[in-house]
Each structure stands twice: as structure tokens, then as C-alpha cells.
């Protein structure tokens, strides 16, 4: 960041009707968080709808959107992630345009009375499991699996409304990196003590202990999401990270999965 650059406070604001990249017209804001905002846009010629995510160029802790652009580029053609359509940079912000998705699992669960059928639970689990395999096969750990980061497709945006998609790759970390060996790649050496990344409600016990996150940690998060689809997580009322971690450690599988198929226990 330039020494005289001003750190932007809050999400990027783009006026309705603004055309970005000469062809993406801002229709309305869909959501925001931190220094990022997501807008509904349409292609000026084809009227195709998409989602545009914008982030200030002067984010204090570095660009998250740049990471997402790189990851979505490497996940191109995968069924359970949004398609990266375009990306670019303006004077005050950078942006990416991706395929428009539908409602998040978080919103759908609220509409369903915070509990869905066992059949839906299993189908969601299978979809996200396939999606995580695609992310892992590309060499990344997601580290932020939660209902708000899972969404159905949207027919208006050219995505399948019957498919669950994984969102938000800002906390992803490579576990496969380039190497000078004949193979060209190697497993990244784990850190002895890693900074906490993720949401305490859905992270694994190992993540609480600040171990380097690996592929099974994403699967633990998926399991906790599946449990929540059938009722409250046993630790949902805890506020302190330490208490929540202890509850996870002490929780018997049969109690955790009491509302789930017995095969999961």
C-alpha cells in the first residue's frame, strides 16, 4: 500500500446504474461485509445477470478478493463453485464478476423453521462433499465452511438451482505448492502453530488447538453444518471459545448425531 494511501473504512459503494468493465451495469447491492460488497449486475448487451464483488484497493490487511480470483480461476469448470466471468481493477477498488447464485443455506434454513428433513440433510451433505473434493483436488483447504457460504444455483444466472455451491474463498490456504522436483508439486509443510481461521461454531477441535488445518478439518465443518440442518448444535449457546471447544471434545457421536441417520454414527 502506498505510504500516503488512505485506508478505506467500510465496504465499497458503487452507485446504481454504474457500468463496470464497459459492460456490467450495477442493478442493486446484494450484501456487504468488511471492505467488500456484492452487487447484482447485468451484461449490457445480453442482459445476463451476474454477481459483482468489489473490494477497496486500500485494505489494511491485504486483498482477499485477489486470492478469490486466483482460486476461482483454478477451479474453472467445477460443478459446485461459481464461475469466474471477469475481473479488473479501478482507481479505488478491484472487482470480480462471477455467476449469480441463489439463496444461501443459512437463509433457506431460516425459512424451513431451522430444521429440514433427513433426506435434505443427506443431499446437501453429498453435494458439499463433492464440492470440497473439487476444492481439495485444486490444492486448497477452504477453512470457512458454514451455511452462509453454501448456496443453491440460480437459473437467471446460468447456474443449476438443484446444485449446492461453495462460496467465499478468502480464507482458503494452499496445501499443495509448486516444487522443483520431477513431480513439480509437493505438500506444504505444516506450521507448528497456526493462527485461528474460520468460525468457532463450525470449526474442528484441531482448529481450536491452532493446528495447521488439513482436509479433514473441512469435513468436520461439513459434519457440524449437517447436524445443524436437523436442529441446534449442542454448543450453539456457548459464547466463550474455550467452553465451546471443551463441549466439542466431550460430545459423544451418538448424542451429536441424534437427529441424523444412524449410519453417520
Q: Which residues are annotated as catalytic?
A: 144
Could you give the dihedral angle defined by the CA atoms of residues 173, 90, 149 and 78, in that order, rounded to the nearest 10 degrees?
A: -70
For the chain, the C-alpha Rg in angstroms (whole number) is: 20
Kindly give, in sequence order, each residue whose CB lies less than 8 Å from that of residue 117, ignoring residues fewer than 6 positions away: none
Q: In this structure, are residues 106 and 56 in contact, taking their beta carbons and an 8 Å threshold? A: no
Report the C-alpha gap between 260 and 122 in whole angstroms.
9
DSSP state string for 224-250: HHHHHTTS--TTTT--SHHHHHHHHHH
On the CB side of 183, CA atoms within 13 Å amount to: 7
The residue written with cell numbers 471477469 in the block is: 86
Nearest Cα to 171, choosing from 143, 194, 213? 143
Cα–chain-centroid distance for residue 194? 20
Q: Three-state DSSP class for 89?
A: strand
Q: What is the DSSP letter of 2?
A: -
- Number of DSSP helices (H) and strands (E) in the chain, helices first: 7, 13
Amino acid at each position: 500500500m502506498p505510504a500516503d494511501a488512505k485506508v478505506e473504512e467500510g465496504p465499497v459503494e458503487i452507485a446504481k446504474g454504474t457500468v463496470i468493465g464497459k459492460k456490467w451495469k450495477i442493478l442493486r447491492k446484494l450484501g456487504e461485509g468488511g471492505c467488500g460488497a456484492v452487487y447484482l449486475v447485468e451484461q449490457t448487451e445480453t442482459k445476463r445477470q451476474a454477481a459483482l464483488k468489489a473490494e477497496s484497493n486500500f485494505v489494511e490487511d491485504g486483498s482477499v478478493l485477489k486470492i478469490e480470483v486466483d482460486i476461482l480461476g483454478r477451479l474453472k469448470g467445477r460443478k459446485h463453485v461459481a464461475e469466474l466471468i471477469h475481473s479488473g481493477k479501478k482507481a479505488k477498488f478491484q472487482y470480480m464478476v462471477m455467476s449469480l447464485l441463489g439463496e444461501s443455506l443459512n437463509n433457506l434454513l431460516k425459512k424451513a423453521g431451522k430444521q429440514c428433513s433427513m433426506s435434505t440433510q443427506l443431499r446437501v451433505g453429498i453435494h458439499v462433499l463433492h464440492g470440497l473434493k473439487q476444492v481439495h483436488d485444486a490444492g486448497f483447504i477452504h477453512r470457512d465452511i458454514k451455511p452462509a457460504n453454501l448456496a443453491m444455483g440460480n437459473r437467471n444466472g446460468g447456474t443449476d438451482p438443484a446444485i449446492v455451491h461453495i462460496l467465499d474463498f478468502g480464507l482458503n490456504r494452499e496445501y499443495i505448492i509448486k516444487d522443483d522436483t520431477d513431480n513439480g508439486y509437493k505438500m506444504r509443510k505444516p506450521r507448528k502453530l497456526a493462527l485461528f481461521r474460520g468460525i468457532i461454531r463450525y470449526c474442528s477441535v484441531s482448529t481450536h488447538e491452532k493446528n495447521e488445518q488439513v482436509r479433514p478439518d473441512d469435513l468436520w465443518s461439513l459434519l457440524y453444518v449437517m447436524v445443524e440442518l436437523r436442529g441446534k448444535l449442542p454448543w450453539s449457546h456457548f459464547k466463550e471459545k474455550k467452553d465451546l471447544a471443551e463441549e466439542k471434545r466431550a460430545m459423544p457421536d451418538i448424542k451429536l448425531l441424534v437427529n441424523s441417520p444412524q449410519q453417520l454414527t
